[in-house]
Amino acid sequence: MVDLPGHARAVLVRVRASDGREHAEIRVRVALADVDPAARRQLGTLLADLRDLVTRAAAVRRPRPGRKAA
């Protein structure tokens, strides 16, 4: 968990689906600015950064069956 009191909180949970596959679930709460243009910029930044984070995390290669991880 990441907690920035009054500003933001993020919680990461590792879960296993019924098929046995594991996933990460992330819940993020960020206080937005009181004025719309600034809040929109915050949302754009969040979306771009989340896209980068998910892309980097998903790009980690899993070994194919019968092969060792690099």
pLDDT digits (tens, 9 = 90+) for 4-56: 999 999 999 999 999 999 999 999 999 999 999 999 999 999 999 999 999 99
Does 70 have pLDDT greater than 70? no
pLDDT of residue 65: 73
- 43 within domain boundaries: yes
**Residues of the domain holding 13:** 2-58
Strand 22-30 with 2-4, pairing: unpaired
- 68 within domain boundaries: no
- 51 within domain boundaries: yes
- 29 within domain boundaries: yes
Total domains in the fold of the chain:
1
- 12 within domain boundaries: yes
Determine phi and psi for 24, rounding to 5 degrees: -110, 135
What separation, in Å, do the N-terminal and C-terminal C-alpha atoms of the chain show?
29
pLDDT digits (tens, 9 = 90+) for 55-67: 999 888 666 677 6
Please report which helix (H) or strand (E) contains residue 58, including its range.
helix 36-58
- 70 within domain boundaries: no
Using alpha carbons, select from 4, 22, 21, 5 the residue that is nearest to residue 13.
22
- 64 within domain boundaries: no
- 65 within domain boundaries: no
pLDDT of residue 3: 97
